[in-house]
Amino acid sequence: KIGRVAHGMGFGVFVVGGFVRDLLLRRENDDIDIVIEGDGITFAKAFAEMMGARINTYTKFGTSVIIFPNGFKVDVATARMEYYPFPAALPEVETSSIKLDLYRRDFTINTLAIRLDPDGFGTLTDFFNGQRDIKEKRIRILHNLSFVEDPTRVFRAIKFEQRFGFTIGKVTREMIKNAIHLDVFRELGGLRVFNEFRQILEEENPVPAILRIFDLGLMEIIHPGITRHNELIDQLDEAKKVLAWHDLMYTDEPIERWVIYFLTLLAPCDREVSEVVARRLMLPPKHRKLLTEERFHARGAYIWLTHGLPAANSDLHRQLSPLRTELLLYVMAISKDEAIKKAISHYMSQLRHITLSIKGRDLKTLGLKPGPRYSQILADTLAAKLDGKLKDRDDELAFAA
């Protein structure tokens, strides 16, 4: 349908990039990127109206997102028709604008396009030997200045290499070294580095990519204080296992997976390092706080746990309840002691769900004078409940009184 509508408006239309790459790799990908040779925004408006969908447009970039009622999204970009007038009264020549659009992309494997308009529906367009590189499992840039033009591509090269089990091509590897040598990362905005680094940490198994980042000397871009110490690989592998355990046990609790790997990388670093990292990557306040402050609360709980496991549930609860799930999983990842992992797992599966049946207003009906004492009474009552001393609401009321 997209093809017919675009064609009817006189535009060429292609599905491009990751979707086509993953189609050839037989991997699932729901991100559809469309390129219109013509006016992408006009097309998107007409198509959305026809389909009863909404759109967001970004006029400056000539892009739109079509959002269908079921939440499905399609990105639409514009490859403008470009005309080059020839001298000596020859007619103007239309260059293939899709080719120019694809030439601006990062790697050959992302330059494949499939034509959608009825004339050549389904034809694979491959200007830069992307198909060959997929077959030969190679990540290759399109031109030698690619990493100078956009240094974030270095991180993307590593992400794709590890995700697909490909190898970064020889020249491309040389160009990465060259980019590092030229220090092209110095000027790179922190937010862009963060975005790519986070994407790597969100990969199904980010550990090999993290090690590749160390090998290439790229971790220094984030901070030279983040080092590949002796225990790091074990800890990262442990983080992976803990995440798999969490996925299995708590399918409906969404967590930020990258945070656990990032905390593990920062584990031996002092606060000063994490402050610099947070500034460099321009982290939003929530994540800055997590990396600079809250991870030390988690560390405190970890040290407390290494001093011997608590006899009482209430003690364990008091230590762990201020920590977000990501921090609990991080403590599990860095602790070698199975008993500590078990204690955290006990807290997560049982203790954190225990709450009181009584509230502040129940204390009032007991004749207790409202005031700051209320929170202490409720905390003491919860502690007694956690330690199995209170069976029901009447017990709670009696204890509070």
Residue ranges with strand state E in 170-283 = none
162 part of the interface to ligand ATP, by CB under 6 A: no
Distance (Å, rounded) from C-alpha 51 to C-alpha 217? 49
Distance (Å, rounded) from C-alpha 382 to C-alpha 19? 52
Which span sits near ligand ATP by CB under 6 A: 78-86, 151-159, 221-229, 300-308? 151-159
Which span sits near ligand ATP by CB under 6 A: 146-154, 279-287, 290-298, 314-322? 146-154
**Minimum gap (Å) between residue 226 Cβ and ligand ATP:** 23
Which span sits near ligand ATP by CB under 6 A: 35-43, 47-55, 150-158, 375-383? 150-158
Residue nearest to ligand ATP (CB): 18
Which span sits near ligand ATP by CB under 6 A: 145-153, 183-191, 239-247, 308-316? 145-153
Closest CA to 266 of 245, 244, 296, 237: 296
246 part of the interface to ligand ATP, by CB under 6 A: no
Which span sits near ligand ATP by CB under 6 A: 134-142, 152-160, 227-235, 338-346? 152-160
Contacts of 381 (CB under 8 A, 6+ apart): 356, 358, 390, 396, 399, 400
Q: Of 57 and 110, which CB lies nearer to ligand ATP in the complex structure?
A: 110
Applying CB under 6 A, among 152, 292, 314, 319 the residue interacting with ligand ATP is 152
Q: Of 5 and 23, which CB lies nearer to ligand ATP in the complex structure?
A: 23
150 part of the interface to ligand ATP, by CB under 6 A: yes
Cα 168 to Cα 48, 174, 178, 220: the distances in Å are 39, 10, 14, 20
Report the residue count for the chain.
401
Q: Of 101 and 238, which CB lies nearer to ligand ATP in the complex structure?
A: 101
Residue 89, Ramachandran bin (φ over 0: left; ψ between -120 and 50: alpha; else beta): left
Residue with the two structure tokens 């080719």: 99
Instruction: Answer for the pair 397, 362: CB distance below 8 angstroms, yes or no.
Output: yes
Applying CB under 6 A, among 115, 138, 140, 153 the residue interacting with ligand ATP is 153
Site for ligand ATP in 3-22 (CB under 6 A): 17-18
Q: Of 153 and 198, which CB lies nearer to ligand ATP in the complex structure?
A: 153
Closest CA to 361 of 377, 338, 345: 377
Instruction: Answer for the pair 134, 21: CB distance below 8 angstroms, yes or no.
Output: yes
Q: Give the pairing of strands 73-79 and 32-37.
A: parallel
The continuous run of DSSP H or E covering 158 comes out as: helix 152-164
Q: Which residues of 291-307 are buried (b: 16+ CB within 10 A; e: fewer)?
A: bbebbeebbebbebbee
* Token pair belonging to 288: 């800055």
Site string for ligand ATP, 77-106 (x = CB under 6 A): ----------------------------xx
Q: Which residues pair with 76 in a beta bridge?
A: 34, 64
Site for ligand ATP in 188-217 (CB under 6 A): 199
Q: Of 167 and 199, which CB lies nearer to ligand ATP in the complex structure?
A: 199
**Minimum gap (Å) between residue 19 Cβ and ligand ATP:** 7
**Minimum gap (Å) between residue 283 Cβ and ligand ATP:** 20
Q: Name the site residues for ligand ATP (rule: CB under 6 A).
A: 17-18, 31, 33, 105-106, 110, 150, 152-153, 156, 199
